[in-house]
Amino acid sequence: MLGDAYNYLTDWSNWTGDDGMLTLLTEQLLLTITALAITMLIGLPIALYLGHIGRGGFLAINISNIGRAIPTFAVLVLLSVGFVGTDELGPYGRAGLATLIALVLFALPPIITNGYVGIREVDRDTVEASTGMGMRGRQVFWRVELPLAMPVIMTGVRLALVQVWATATIAALVAGPGLGNVIVSGFYNSNYGKGLAGAFVVAVVAFVLEVLTIGAERLVAPAHQRRNTRVEAPRRTVSATV
C-alpha cells in the first residue's frame, strides 16, 4: 500500500490536468484563504469590540464549546443537500457554496473566542494607565489593547486555519472541491495507494500552513514577547479538533 502511494505521488500525470492534484490543491488553498478572510472580516470586529467593552463574554467563550459538539460532516451534508447545495461557485467547483459556508461557520468559534479572550486578558492596570494618560477609548484599543492582544488573536487565526483546511478536505465526502477527492475516491474504490497519497499531501500542506502561521504569530508579537521561543497562549484559549 505504501508502495502504491509512492508510485501515485511520483507519477507526474497524477499532478497535472483538470483533475490533477495541483488543480485540486490550488482549489482547496483558494477556498481556505477565502473562507479564512471572510471569517476574519466577520468574526474579528465582533470579538474585538466585545472584548473592548467587556460584554458578551459568556457567549464568546462558549461558542467554541458549542462548535465542537456540531459534527462538521453533518453540517456539510445538511448544507449541500439543502438549499445551497446545487450551486456551482466559480473556481470553487461543485458544492462550493455549501463548503464555503460550512468553512466559515466552523472557523468562527476559535477566532471569536481568542479575539475576545486576547483583549480581555490585556493587563487591566496597563489599560487604566493609558486612560489615565488621557487616551480615549479608541486610542486605548488601537495603541494598547490590540498590540498586546495580538499573539492570542493570531493563535485563534491559526486554529481557525487548521480547522478550515480540515473541513475543506472533508467536503469531498459531499462532492465538494479539493484534495479530499483523492482520498475519498481512493478509499471508496479500494484504490488505497491513491487514498493514502492524497492523505499524505493533505497532512503535509496542513503542517506547512501551521508552520507559516506560527511564523506570522512571532512577527506580530510585541517586542518584549518576541524573545521567547514561542508565544504561549493563555490557558483559556481553545484548540480546535478537526
Partner 1 sequence: MTVLSQAGIAAAAADDTTCYARTTNDWICAAYWKDYQSELVDATTQHLQITVAAVVLGLVIAVPMAVIARRYVPLKGGILGLSTALYTIPSIALFPILVLFTGITMTTVIIGLALYTLTILVRNTLTGLEAVPDDVRESATGLGYGRTRLLLKIEFPLALPVIMAGLRVATVSTVALTTVGVIVSYGGLGQLLADGVQNDFKAEIFAASVLCVALALALDVVLLGMQWLLTPWVRARGA
> Minimum distance between the CB of residue 159 and partner 1, rounded to whole angstroms?
9
> Minimum distance between the CB of residue 58 and partner 1, rounded to whole angstroms?
16
Half-sphere exposure of 118 (CA within 13 A, CB side): 30
Nearest CA to 52 among 123, 129, 140, 131? 140
Q: 176-214 burial by CB neighbour count: b if 16+ within 10 A, else e?
A: bbbbbbbbbebeeeeeebbbbbbbbbbeebbeebeeebe
Nearest residue (CB) to partner 1, 126 versus 189: 189
DSSP for 129-168 reads HHHHTT--HHHIIIIIIHHHHHHHHHHHHHHHHHHHHHHH
Nearest residue (CB) to partner 1, 69 versus 223: 69
Nearest residue (CB) to partner 1, 55 versus 236: 236
Q: Which residue has the cell 500500500?
A: 1
Nearest CA to 114 among 70, 39, 60? 60
> Minimum distance between the CB of residue 5 and partner 1, rounded to whole angstroms?
9
Kindly list the residues in this chain that would bind partner 1 in the complex (CB under 8 A): 1-2, 65, 68-74, 77-78, 80-81, 162, 165-166, 169-170, 172-175, 180, 183-184, 186-190, 192, 195-196, 198-200, 202-203, 206-207, 210, 235, 239-242
> Minimum distance between the CB of residue 108 and partner 1, rounded to whole angstroms?
16
Could you say which DSSP state residue 234 is in?
P
H/E segment holding residue 82: none
Nearest residue (CB) to partner 1, 16 versus 228: 228
Which grid coordinates are listed for 180?
A: 479530499
> Minimum distance between the CB of residue 155 and partner 1, rounded to whole angstroms?
11
Whether 193 and 186 have beta carbons less than 8 Å apart is answered as yes
Nearest residue (CB) to partner 1, 62 versus 126: 62
> Minimum distance between the CB of residue 53 and partner 1, rounded to whole angstroms?
28
Nearest residue (CB) to partner 1, 122 versus 196: 196
Whether 87 and 97 have beta carbons less than 8 Å apart is answered as yes
Nearest residue (CB) to partner 1, 97 versus 127: 97
> Minimum distance between the CB of residue 142 and partner 1, rounded to whole angstroms?
32
Nearest CA to 237 among 164, 126, 154, 124? 154
Distance, CA of 38 to CA of 32 (rounded, Å): 10
